[in-house]
Amino acid sequence: MIIRHKMIVTLLAALFGLCFCAHEPAEEETNTVDEGGVVEIRIPKTTEGRIPAKITLKLPEGTDGASSSGSNYIVMQIPEGFHEGSFVPVSTDPCILPAGSEIVVTAEYLDSKMMLAAECPLASETVLSHGSRLTLEPNYHSVRRFTNPVYSANWADPTIWYSDGVFRTFSTMGSGVKNMLSSTNLVSWKIAEYPFSSDVNDALVAFGKDRWAPDVVRLGSKWMMYITCRNDSSSGIAALSADSAEGPFSLVGRITYSGSTGIKDSIDPEVVRDPADGTVWMFFGSTGKMHRVRLSADGTQLASGAKYEHVAGVDVNTNSARNKVFEGAYLYFRDGWWYLFASAAQYWNASYKVVVGRSRSLDGVFLDKDGHKMTEGYATPVISSASGDRFYGPGHNGEIFTDSIGQDFILYHCHDTKRGDDGRRYLMIQRLFWDADGWPYVDGGKPCEGDFAPAFL
């Protein structure tokens, strides 16, 4: 982008017949570098209100004049005074950016392991010269990626909880006590503590030999675990408590029992506190319909005068295909709505799927996207599969988490044909999106093999 002024003047004179007086001194040919442009880049917004230490701008390969060093990388240290969501100006030498190419933006947080990136495609040719400005509002994501499943051992019916920078998960058990897992990023998991002692396990076995689908939640100063205890002809839910997120959990007692209530398959507990009034609710159930019931404020027993209410799904005796039988309840609050996620159909094959309905209150009527009642077996699909898919039978989502840049991720279990077709279910994670009407969905509607990982400061 060098402009040779003498050459231009001579060309004009030839074209238009201009003449110059002979007594004028001849100009010496001078070269002047044209003024470059500015790219304004939006600084990422984070839930912690942090700004990156530097932003790197990578212009398209082969861009001429991107920087004085000849490189198409431009690094901008973020000076004081900028804040998240503001625009930082990055100066460039004069250059032409072709249509169809893209600018890659990288934001680096030097005091943490988080690095963000974004790809900004150019719809038309862009010239950066004479102080022109190009404004970019990137959709940032982590530079790290994950591959599903994120844990390569059987991990059915997961519950996941967070405390002091650490995520923990626990799942349906075998014959003995098994370890929890821990992670700092939701995708790299390692073996952690035992959740409870062998004595506590023996006490749970006395309630039911199968210990399924735990749920961990913090109520007040205590961490509570609720777990299914099931025999062939009866089932119930036991409560345990701990002073810290890592346990160990001690037995509190049995909360509900099918032999007393008559509710078939009293399994898959989900306990949640309503922030509006402090009430604590337990949702549970499967083939005998999904129910809800009030618990005491500390979650250790039923609330005084509590009544069991049918909240979703139909009895398996009226729906042998189970596509309207709901289990694996999970509650999530967003923008004034309570979302009731559930799993429907046959857990052992590709018909199993994650579905959802919503209500304005925990004690209200939950409806699907078309306004049909979940109590009648209606729900809106979120994640499903088909026969022949590598990942099939997604279900029993354990939690939804929001990362540092506002992305939502859902965790659930799924079969994986690449690891054998022996009934094992593996821990999966996936980006969760929300449509204009506030309904959740995942890209493609099916389990993904991998994507950009959650970004955590």
Q: Provide the pLDDT for residue 34.
A: 66
Q: Provide the pLDDT for residue 61.
A: 78
Question: Which stretches of 217-304 are DSSP H helices?
Answer: 258-261
pLDDT of residue 11 exceeding 70, the answer is no
Please give the single-letter amino acid code of residue 389: D
Cβ burial 350-389 (10 Å sphere, 16+ → b, else e): bbbbbbbbbbeebeeebbbbeeeebbebbbbebbbbeeeb
Q: Residues with Cβ < 8 Å from 309, sequence gap 6 or more?
A: 291, 292, 293, 363
Q: Provide the pLDDT for residue 175.
A: 77
pLDDT tens-digit readout, 181-224: 999 999 999 999 999 999 999 999 999 999 999 999 999 999 99
CA 453 to chain centre: 9
The pLDDT mean for the chain works out to 90
Average pLDDT over residues 121-147: 94
- Of the listed ranges 12-21, 279-288, 413-422, the one predicted with least confidence: 12-21
Give the pair of three-digit tokens for residue 128.
Answer: 């950066």
Confidence of residue 109 (pLDDT cuts 50, 70, 90): very high
CA 284 – CA 294 distance, rounded (Å): 12
The CATH architecture one would assign to domain 148-452 is: 5 Propeller (2.115)
pLDDT of residue 2 exceeding 60, the answer is no
Q: Provide the pLDDT for residue 19.
A: 34
Helix (H) or strand (E) holding 140: none
Q: Long-range contacts made by residues 178-185, C-beta under 8 angstroms, separation at least 24? A: 180/246, 180/247, 181/151, 181/155, 182/246, 184/456, 185/144, 185/453, 185/454, 185/456
Q: Provide the pLDDT for residue 5.
A: 31
Confidence of residue 70 (pLDDT cuts 50, 70, 90): low
Residue from 326, 336, 328 nearest 359 by CA: 336
pLDDT tens-digit readout, 269-287: 999 999 999 999 999 999 9
CB 59 within 8 A of CB 94: no
pLDDT of residue 13 exceeding 80, the answer is no
pLDDT of residue 234 exceeding 70, the answer is yes
pTM of the predicted model, to two decimals? 0.89
CB 223 within 8 A of CB 216: yes
Q: Provide the pLDDT for residue 174.
A: 80
What residues are paired with 410 via a beta bridge? 400, 430
Percent of the chain with pLDDT over 90: 83
pLDDT of residue 7 exceeding 60, the answer is no
CA 88 – CA 138 distance, rounded (Å): 12
CA 187 – CA 152 distance, rounded (Å): 11
Q: Provide the pLDDT for residue 455.
A: 96
- Of the listed ranges 110-114, 289-293, 432-436, 438-442, the one predicted with least confidence: 110-114
Please give the single-letter amino acid code of residue 379: A
Q: Provide the pLDDT for residue 24.
A: 44
pLDDT of residue 387 exceeding 70, the answer is yes
